[in-house]
Structure 1
Amino acid sequence: MTATTIMPEARTASATLRRNFWRGVWRVMKRKPSRMVGVVIMAGFAFMGIFGPMLYPERLPRDTSALYAAPSWAHPFGTDFEGTDVLALVVTGSRYVLLTGLVTAVITVVLGAGIGLFAGFRRGRWDSVLMRITDMKLTIPGLPLLLVLSTIWKFTSAIEMGLVLGLLGWGGVARAVRAQTLSLRERGFVEAARGLGLSTTHIIGKELLPSMAPYIAMNMLIAVTGAVYAQVGLFFLGVLPFEANNWGVMLNLAVFGGGALTTTAALPYLLAPLLAILLLTLGIVLVVDAMDEIFNPRLREE
């Protein structure tokens, strides 16, 4: 059989595997309607973060005659202390929050999974050095460090915030991935790959990484929620300047500026960003519920 005959067959087999995988994903998602709800929620937030701010002018309109107006058809969540529509603030503030979460998740997973996979597979000196660095990273208290950094770094950019949160959050993922790699490296398929003389890059990328895809994907989604809580918490505490509109700023102004905990006037202003955070967390939890079944063929067949 010639190479020209093998290549089309390989492409056909690969295409068949992809189709079977996506059919399996569809069956898994349909099995529990709540999982589809999670996908819809996450897709809705993604759409809101990307396109939502485009629906409003750069400076949101203010109605000084309707300060802390009650919810109505014109203002579903009322208005804030300047007469600005609260729903518009939630939508326009979502981009900063979600972009920060995405950047944090990517950095956390890439660094954590990369270091964990390499250290666990190579063992020896590389493992010792990388794990000592990881242990040092885990001993650094994240919140106090962020408080110190906030005195010299304004975090006006979501990418800057995501970069710092990601660099502070990869240690736990590295440790967990290394532990799984140590167990997988003794399996028969890895031994066979080493016996064939395949490179370390090939074994890690083609043999080990797919086996840990569910765990890594779940950690990426969980890192998004962690980043949302961290940044919203920092803005709520008032340790970062209010130069970027986001949900944390809204919470701070609602509680400390509008007295939302003692009066009902600013309560919708407080509940709107809290509801957004709750829905985002719910969507991620519902999707994570399907991850293991999606990536485990035996569970998909049950």
Structure 2
Amino acid sequence: MSIVLESTTATMRRNFWSGVWRVMKRKPSRMVGAIILLGFAFMAVFGPMFYPDLLPDDADLISKPPSWAHWLGTDPQGRDVVALVVKGSRYVLLSAAVTAVITVVVGTGLGLFSGFKRGRWDTVLMRVTDMKLTIPGLPLLLVLATVWKFSNPFQMGLVLGLLGWGGVARAVRAQTLSLRERGFIEAARGLGLSTPHIVGKELLPSMAPYIAMNMLIAVTGAVYAQVGLFFLGVLPYESDNWGVMLNLAVFQAGAMIQPLALGYLLGPLLAILLLTLGIVLVVDAMDEIFNPRLREE
């Protein structure tokens, strides 16, 4: 019986990945979204390697408008805006990835365990989750900014991740409560399989698309949060990233009133918008994968 169950599980996994491929091909926009995300991942990992650690200043290129040599112009120090966007992408995207991983791992783990065990464990873990949801994020970041300079993206990702797992835990718990009454879970219980096996081998694969959606959404939220904090000047300027670029473009280069500095403002904004577009297009595919009623026959 166990061999039959394992064979059925393997077949379900193969069908799932083939279904993912069909859903992605069904609309070209979804493939475009996947390509955009892969492009940003490549830019964050390898892009800064094409530039020196410190971009050289050039007094002859201060706040130049877009041109063939400098597609988005230059900043008030004569540095290419595209180069700044590429170099700043590593901090933003790495911290967003760390945030998403922590958010999803902690939230999914607690939500799965709480929803499956129910009873006393469910009550305790959900009360802890409710307490976590009441913690204001901005005041806590202001306090931590006096101790940490957030020059390391892992520090930023750790803090944002620990602040963001509550909603995921609640959502995963709700999904677990629905799935735990399904026939395949009852069959696993009837076979005497252990709780870790049922949760890890039966429940978790069934929720994979939903978890993937939450991870992509967490990336978007992390990018907005950190860029907004750096733009507002809440966090110190210890690293180059898109939020610092926006702050300097508005409050030092005068991009809102100075047309020559407009490219310095548009650079990080276009990067954020393009990243958001890619995530939205991929989440659209994940939504169809997760909800069979949306699949077109």
Shorter-chain-normalised TM-score: which range? over 0.9
Q: Distance in 1 between matches of 2:131 and 2:294?
A: 38
For residues 122-169 of structure 1, what are the alpha-carbon distances to aligned partners after superposition, in whole Å with 9 as ceiling and x for unaligned?
111111111111010000011221122112211110011000000000
Structure 2 residue 247 is matched with structure 1 residue 252: yes
Structure 2 residue 127 is matched with structure 1 residue 132: yes
Cα shift at 1:292: 3.2
From 90, 95, 101, give the equivalent of 2:96. Answer: 101
Partner residue, 1:58: 53
Q: Distance in 1 between matches of 2:280 and 2:157?
A: 21
Structure 1, 55-64 or 282-291: larger mean CA deviation:
55-64
State how 1:13-32 maps to structure 2 within 5 Å. 20-32=15-27
Partner residue, 1:193: 188
Matching residue's letter, 1:31: R
Matching residue's letter, 1:162: G
Partner residue, 1:160: 155
- Closer/same/farther in 2, CA of residues 161 and 294 from structure 1, 3 Å limit: same
Q: Distance in 2 between matches of 1:290 and 1:67?
A: 44
Structure 2 residue 56 is matched with structure 1 residue 67: no
Using structure 2 for the length normalisation, give the TM-score: 0.93
Structure 2 residue 231 is matched with structure 1 residue 233: no
Cα shift at 1:265: 2.0
State how 1:196-207 maps to structure 2 within 5 Å. 196-207=191-202
Structure 2 residue 275 is matched with structure 1 residue 280: yes
- Closer/same/farther in 2, CA of residues 189 and 14 from structure 1, 3 Å limit: closer
For residues 29-62 of structure 1, what are the alpha-carbon distances to aligned partners after superposition, in whole Å with 9 as ceiling and x for unaligned?
1211110110111011011000000000111122
Cα shift at 1:27: 2.1
Contact kept, 8 Å, 2:210 with 2:290, in 1: the verdict is no
Q: CA RMSD in A?
A: 2.3
Structure 1, 20-29 or 240-249: larger mean CA deviation:
20-29
Structure 2 residue 110 is matched with structure 1 residue 115: yes
Q: Distance in 2 between matches of 1:133 and 1:82?
A: 49
- Closer/same/farther in 2, CA of residues 239 and 133 from structure 1, 3 Å limit: same
Contact kept, 8 Å, 1:24 with 1:300, in 2: the verdict is no
Q: Distance in 2 between matches of 1:249 and 1:171?
A: 28
Gaps of 5+ in 1: 1-7
Q: Distance in 1 between matches of 2:6 and 2:185?
A: 24
SS, match of residue 170 in structure 1: helix
For residues 97-127 of structure 1, what are the alpha-carbon distances to aligned partners after superposition, in whole Å with 9 as ceiling and x for unaligned?
0001100000000000000000011111111
Structure 2 residue 33 is matched with structure 1 residue 41: no
- Closer/same/farther in 2, CA of residues 74 and 172 from structure 1, 3 Å limit: same
Contact kept, 8 Å, 2:104 with 2:215, in 1: the verdict is yes
Q: Distance in 1 between matches of 2:187 and 2:32?
A: 42
Using structure 1 for the length normalisation, give the TM-score: 0.92
Q: Distance in 2 between matches of 1:221 and 1:191?
A: 31
SS, match of residue 212 in structure 2: helix
Gaps of 5+ in 2: none
Q: Distance in 2 between matches of 1:106 and 1:89?
A: 26
Cα shift at 1:295: 5.0
Q: Distance in 1 between matches of 2:108 and 2:19?
A: 26
Contact kept, 8 Å, 1:107 with 1:167, in 2: the verdict is yes
Work out the percentage of aligned pairs sharing the same amino acid: 78
- Closer/same/farther in 2, CA of residues 71 and 301 from structure 1, 3 Å limit: closer
For residues 50-105 of structure 1, what are the alpha-carbon distances to aligned partners after superposition, in whole Å with 9 as ceiling and x for unaligned?
00000001111221111100111111000001000000000000000000110000
Partner residue, 1:210: 205
Partner residue, 1:5: none
Matching residue's letter, 2:111: G
